[in-house]
Each structure stands twice: as structure tokens, then as C-alpha cells.
Amino acid sequence: MYYLNACGLVCALGDTMDAIKERLLGRPRSGVAVSDACSPGRALPLGAVSSRLPPVCQLPPPQRSRNNQLALAALAQIRPAVDAAIALFGAGRVGIVIGTSTSGILEAENAMRQNTVDGTFPAAFQYSQQEMGSPAAMLAGELGIVGPSYVHSSACASSAKAMASAARLIKMGLCDAVLTGGVDSLCAFTVAGFSALDSVSSVLCNPLSANRNGINIGEGAALFLMSGIQAPVALCGWGESSDGYHMSAPDPDGGGARLAMEQALARAKIAPERIDYINLHGTATLQNDAMEARAVAALFGSMPAVSSTKPLTGHALGAAGAIEAALCWIAMQDDNPEGRLPPHLWDGVADPALPVLNVVKPGTLLGRPLSWALSNSFAFGGSNAVLVLGRTA
């Protein structure tokens, strides 16, 4: 069993578990707000982290980035548990597997802006700040970990894949504990890229709606301490597949998505009807929502409760899988005995072309603790990753 002993989370909903839980399960409200920070002259809804972040001046210059600040903010919430695991198992028996897609691109953008103005780069800028491996290297150095340490970068499936890889490290006997999850930071590069694909919405995103017209990009970090030490919630199954259908569009039949969900259920050794709640990838793009709705309906019917939490947090790209697993983790804790579920914020105008799903309304209760949750992450290039979390108590 791959227990999730501790979770640190910072996203558009807040930078403490209490604040995030209140905005997720108490009085749900979006953390997405309009800003032109990443698109000068065109204000867009973004899931930005507004809280003060830890300094990075103590880090080697190549590791000084907002991306790593977000990772440090999540780490700070669980640092005692991570330090205790290192003391118990030894620095060589603890690993790090992180997912990201942006790393230090923001710092490169800022440097290029200055270079355009005066022909020089900032003294603090280093090209290596963009290295995708930076978050893992930074965390390993900060914690003194010398076990396996690496990064997954497979677009929006990155951090879900990182968590699956962390479980495999424990399963293979290479690690006794792994710090795993994902981090991504807002930057103009990703906003411009998705805008070029006509995939960015100018209003709050609207998953599953007939009026959906694109995503809201977000940022954040979610880190888990995973080990064999018993905890209330565990990663019980995972599935990964590759469509190879198109560079940016999903396979409309959802075959790869369904295969990943089936693999995750098989590893967890549970039937589809036992899943209480599905956190949809739910980007609010025309093609993703259509594909995912069909795949979910074909495998689960209309029984499990479903929601997309991207209207709450924005789409944090490489960090999305871990952030959404963290939202499931929050809902599965002992302090939610009535099974309050993450809500689906939308206009309520169902797309008649999509199968009917059991969409979570704000305030929905299972009437018992949330026992089984499935979280979908479907990325560009047809990279699919699905996690199944289960309550163990």
C-alpha cells in the first residue's frame, strides 16, 4: 500500500489546508480572478497564487525561480513529516519525483523583456533556471536527500505520472518513502500558447456546459509524502496510456482515457461501481470534455458523483494532477465524515450532445465518508494518467 502520509498544497484557493478546505468544501468559491499579468493588453481569468512565497535567495542561482518558490511553500506545510521520514529511513532511502511543465520559464521571459529594452540580461538570470529537473534538484538539496530524484514533464499528466512513479520506486524496493507531486507557475508562454490554439476562455471556465469555450490557466504546487507507514488515505491504483492520436487533440473515442481508468481500477482491485467520486480532467474545452464524458459514461454510467475543480483553481498544467489528487485527499480526511464533495461550478446548461453525468452540486453530501476517489489527467500528445485514492481506515 502506498500511503499518503502528509500533503502540502498551495493554489489559487489558498496557501493553508484550512483555507483551501473552506473554499472547496465549506463555502465553495473560485480562486480564479481576472488579470493581464500574463497577457498584457488582454485581461484573462487566471488561477494565480496571491500569497507571499518563501525566499529563494539561499538557493544556488540556477534554482531561483517562482516555480521553486511554490514548491517550497508546499514543502513548508509538511517539512516536519518529511524530515522525520529522512531520519527514520535515511537520506538514501527517500526519493523525490515531481511533475512540472514550466519550471523557470517565467524568469527567462523577464530576462528577455529586459534584453529587448536595453540589450542586457539581468545579472541574476541563468539559462539553467529553465531546466525541467530544477524542482527535484532543489528539493533534494534543501532536504539533503540522496535517493532517486527526478522530474516528469508530460504536459498536464506530469504530476499524476510522478505519483505513479513514486509508488513504483517503493514497490521496487528502491525507496522507503518518496516526496512526490507537482508544481507549475504562471507565465506568458503558456497563456500565449493556449491562446494560439483558441483554447483560453475570457470568462470563468465552464466544464461540461453547452457554453464551454476554453480553459483558465492556473498555478500551484502539491507535495505528498508517500510511504508504507499507514495513513487514512493511500494511492491504491494508477493507470497510464498513450493515445498517439494528435499533438493537442484527444482521441474523440476516449479509448486511451478509458484504458488508463481501467488500469487504475485493476491495480486498486475494485470494480467501477465502488468509486464514489471522480475528479474529472474537465478542462472546459470542446474536445476534452466530450471525450472524457463519453469515456466516463461508458465505464461508470451515471452513478458516481463527478466534478471538475478547474473553475476553482484554474488549470495548473503540469501540477494539475497532484493538486486535484490533493483536493480528493482533503475530502477523504476524517474531518469530513458526511462526505462533502468538491463541487462542479458551472452555468448548469448541460450539453445535450454529451452523456448525462452525476454532476456535484455545491453542498452535496454522500452521507458517509468518501471512500474511493478517481482523478483523471489527460494531456497533449495523448498522455493519460489516472489515480485511484482510497480510505484505509
Element (H, E) at 223: strand 220-227
Q: How far is residue 198 CA from its own chain's centroid?
A: 22
CA of residue 97 relative to chain centroid, distance: 14
Adjacent-strand bridge partners of 387: 238, 375
Instruction: Name the catalytic one among 11, 38, 236, 315.
Output: 315
Q: Which three cell numbers stand for residue 322?
A: 497532484
SS3 content of the chain, % helix, strand, coil (to 5): 40, 20, 40
DSSP state of 96: E
Reading the block at residue 24, the C-alpha cell is 472547496
72, 155 in Cβ contact below 8 A?
no
344 annotated active-site? no
- Is 156 one of the catalytic residues? yes
How far is Cα 185 from Cα 38, in angstroms, rounded to an integer?
11
> For the packed helices 66-89 and 134-143, what is the interaxial angle rounded to 10 degrees?
50
Q: By three-state DSSP, how is residue 88 classified?
A: helix
Q: Which residue has the cell 483555507?
A: 19
**From 7, 11, 38, 156, active-site residue:** 156
SS3 state at 17? helix
φ/ψ bin of 380: left (φ > 0), alpha (ψ from -120 to 50), beta (otherwise) = beta
Catalytic residue, from 7, 38, 236, 281: name it.
Answer: 281
- Secondary structure of residue 236 in the 3-state scheme: strand
Catalytic center residues: 156, 281, 315
